[in-house]
Structure 1
Amino acid sequence: MGIEYVTIYAFSIDNFKRKPDEVQSTMNLMQEKIEELLKEESVVTKYGVRINFWGNLSLLSQPVRLAVEKATVSTAKNSGPVLSVCVAYTSTYEIMRAIHKSCADKIGKIQEQYANGHDDGEEIISVADLEQHLYTLDCPDPDILIRTSGETRLSNFLLWQTTFTHLQNPAPLWPEFSLMHLVWVVLMYQKAYPYFKERRSKCKRMH
């Protein structure tokens, strides 16, 4: 179908507030699934998928963190589709992280401006600066965002990147989401594509 980038929301930072046994069972399952992806017969190996993991990975248990690091390193040179897994992630955290890193890059300029006792309105940190520090730097903004189970909220997922994204909320729960549902989602996007194309063009002209 020509889909080159897929990003999934596997585990939110807020999910760590759940019961400890529930968090632990999810971590165990995550480790198991990551290890399965690296087997020779997996879809990752077959199609040369490159895997990214986005989020505050220091919050993960050590076995999961090691599995994440192994998957990232072992697929880094793959040239096929890109699978990005948001784990220990929220968009709020991603944006705050980008702000902190941008400020660190510009700290000299900030100190100089305020040491002179004036603020001339000059832009110190730009949108481009922030985007250089987002996890999604090397990936295009998503065309489609699928929120299964009929939910109509983004739950702090890719808030910065979804300005011109087609949001869809099919009724099936994630385990029941099939190829048929995916094809339908793509068809709905194709129907709405002219509108999104026009909006993106207008935004580019304004910038």
Structure 2
Amino acid sequence: MQTPFIQNHQFNFIQKQADFLLKTLRSVVDRKVLETVRYTVGTNAVGSFNELTPDEKELLEQLSTYDTPHDVQLYMNQLEEYLIPFPEVSAKQIQKLFPKAKKLKLPDLESMDYAHTTYLRWIDIATSRLFIVYPHEGKFLGIEGRITATNKKGYCMFCHRHQELGFFNVKMKGHSADNFASIGQYVCMDNKACNDSITDITMLEKFLFSTVK
């Protein structure tokens, strides 16, 4: 069995590099340009990791060697074996993260695609609340807030893709028990689309961690 070393957002980033390579192969005939793109694609894939073993680095650099959509797809399928899945989480664990949420509506954990999940999120339509569960330092962080559909498309703060947006507003404790503040951002309304698009967790973590200070 292969040792997983690729997180979902890194896999999405590599997929973007693969798409860029295929687009170039279809539209560019200049050999120098092609070689430059190949070098860039391989360098970008490797650069999305802080540490790699020699074998892992070699595997990522292979992306730049393919010439057809079929070969690239086979390569991406191979990379699936190296995905680090989202840590399995139970309904009981989730309920403990949101003790104030009465009659908490849980996501369908059995059908969840753990391999392609960067952060677990679901919307309770009845209460217009977005719930987020995020793994951090061996524990789970739970964030909830009201989400209001904008009925407009724009750039999601978390995945930076042009998606249908909602305004996500999270209340935070202030300097005293009776003092509250709030923080809000525009994020995807589509849970799966956001996880399928996210290529960098910097802004996601910045937002999540700021809500628990």
The two structures share one fold, judged by TM-score above 0.5? no
The structure richer in helix per residue is 1
TM-score range relative to shorter protein: under 0.3
The structure richer in strand per residue is 2
Q: Normalized against structure 2, the TM-score is what? A: 0.23
